[in-house]
Structures are given as C-alpha cells and as structure tokens.
Structure 1
Amino acid sequence: MTCKDFVTLFEYNRWANDCVLTAAAKLHDEQFTRNLSNSFPSVRDTLVHMMGAEWVWLQRWKGISPGALLAPSEFADFAALRARWTELMREQMNFINHLTEAALEQEISYINFKGQNWRYPLARMLQHVVNHSTYHRGQVATMLRQLGATPVSTDFLLFFDQAR
C-alpha cells in the first residue's frame, strides 16, 4: 500500500468512527453504560477501548510505549469521550498525512503492556489499527441493536459513495 492508500484508509476509519459515535450519541446515559455482556461490557467501554487502542498505536508510531490503555472511568459521559476522540482523530490524520513511502517500510519497536518487546513495519501497524476498529465497530452495531437503537452502516464502499 502507498501513502495515498493509507490516507484513504484512515479517512475511511475516521468517517466510520464518526458514524458510530453519531449513533451512540442518541443513547441515554443508562443505555451508554449498560452492561450487555459483550467483549467489553457496554457501548461506552467498547468505544473507549477502540479510542484507547488508536491512541496507544499513535503513541507507538511516535516512539512512545504507553503502559496502559485509557480507562472507561476517565469518560463520565458521551461528550467527554467524543471530545477526546475528535482530538485524537485530528492528531492521527496529521500523522498519516505526513507519512513518506520510506516511513511505511520502517520497522518500529515498542514494548507491549506485558513488558515484551515487539517490532513491526509501520505499514502493518497501520493496517492493524483500521482492522481492529472495524472489528469493534461491528460489536457496537450489535450492542446498539440490543439497546433498541439503530446501528449505522460503515461499509468501506459506502464511504466512497457518501464522499462523492
């Protein structure tokens, strides 16, 4: 994949995350934090995990190895989560927009949460982040249905249709 491909992929990721956030914004506070017995208990917890993972990977790309993900308790309500994620998406796109082809091939080392050293090419890490978020957006769609809310479609091709 080229730098241009990654810009498109992360523009899609930002759009899809925003679609899910818009749907989640319609939930009442109780629905937002209700335990639905999923991989992460609630819509809030799943969204915080997604955002936290995107934040952790952005830090790793910058040479920083955070010791932990963000905690759901840091986000008392939806507005706090959305504000933090909006800023993160801005930072993430700034990073992506300044990539070079050489940077994509560069191997980046980091220390995971278990203290283990890992090393991958930046391009693989970028692909991983979008794939990870796609997986959890599917979980949020199911959770929204369980709450009687309407999930949104975040298909990759729909992104292109709506961008026209």
Structure 2
Amino acid sequence: MSHEISNQYDYHIWANNKLFGHLKQLPQEVYHAEVQSVFPSISAVLEHLYVREEMWLGVISGESTDQVMLLVNRLTEEVKGIGVSEMEERYANLADRFRDYMTGTDDLDKLTTITHPRYGSMSAPISGLIQHVVNHGTYHRGNVTAILRQQGHPGVATDYIFFLYGQYN
C-alpha cells in the first residue's frame, strides 16, 4: 500500500474524528439547526460527505455506475435526519472498509477507469481517487466550521499540520 495515500487517509479519519468529538460537546440542536449557507445544516454537510465517500468506495471497488447510483439514492434517504452519534458510527464503519480495501489492494497507483453519468469516462490512479476523498472531506469540514461560527460556536482545528504535529512531535 502506498505510504503517502495511507497517511493522507489516516489524516482524513483523524480530522473526521476530531470534528465528531467537537460536535458531540455542543448542544444537540446545533447539528440539525438550519442556517443560510452552502448547506442548510451541519447534518446536511455530513450526510452529503458520507454518501459521497460510500459512492467513491463503490467506484474504486469496481461497482457499476448503476450499482453506485442505486447506493447513493438509498443512502441519501437512509441518513436523512439521523443524529451525530449514529453518523459517527457510519463514518467509523466506512473508514474500516476503506482501510480494508487499501490494505487488500496490491497497487493503489494502478489506473482504474471510472464513468460518471455527466462527465464521462476517465482513467485515474486509485490513489488519486482516494486523494479526492480526502480533499473533499477537508473542503466540507470547512463548511461545517462556517456553519458552527454562524451559530456562535467555535470550529475545531483539523488542518493537516495539526495531524502532523500529532504524528511527529
């Protein structure tokens, strides 16, 4: 397994865990509170992120576009309105399955062909798709921080440098 992509994915899980730990310290209503933002609530951000990560695991595991779209539709409905603790459990399970996939794959840099219904087909390294998952998570954790601040609550530091300080300090 590629050390660098494994390290990047470990960062992603660390950052998600930090965020969930922070959210569980706040009043419960903060998670579902509606705001004017890119997403209407923190729960909507994390639902979107979770469903897309499940989607990408399906894609890199070789599921067909039709299977992946059925999964996305099912999970989108399944996670609507669930609480922060249940969402955290889903993320933990997904992280375990991603790690199992990564450790069970001989070459994470091998090219795989993916087909998107709107953007068409492309070949990309599996590690690049996992990097996308990490980057997508970073982007949306920023959305959560913005929503928290709108509600008068602080965010939590999940920048990569803080992960590195924890690893190398």
User: Which of 88, 93, 98 lines up with 2:99 in the alignment?
Assistant: 93
Measured in 2, the distance between the counterparts of 1:80 and 1:31 equals 15
Q: Is the Cα contact below 8 Å between 2:145 and 2:156 reproduced in 1? A: yes
Show the counterpart of 1:143.
147
Show the counterpart of 1:78.
84
RMSD: 2.1
CA shift, 1:51, in A, is 1.3
CA shift, 1:72, in A, is 6.5
CA pair 72-41 structure 1, distance change in 2 beyond 3 A: farther
CA shift, 1:124, in A, is 2.3
User: Which of 108, 119, 122 lines up with 1:119 in the alignment?
Assistant: 122
Measured in 2, the distance between the counterparts of 1:153 and 1:72 equals 30
Q: Is the Cα contact below 8 Å between 1:44 and 1:72 reproduced in 2? A: no
- How many residue pairs are counted as aligned between the two chains? 160
TM-score (norm 2): 0.84
Measured in 1, the distance between the counterparts of 2:148 and 2:82 equals 19
User: Is the partner of 1:25 in helix, strand or coil?
Assistant: helix
Pairing 1:7–2:6 present:
yes
Q: Which runs of 5 or more structure 1 residues have no equivalent in the other structure? A: none
TM-score (norm 1): 0.86
Show the counterpart of 2:159.
155
Q: Is the Cα contact below 8 Å between 1:20 and 1:152 reproduced in 2? A: yes
Q: Which runs of 5 or more structure 2 residues have no equivalent in the other structure? A: none
CA pair 152-72 structure 1, distance change in 2 beyond 3 A: farther
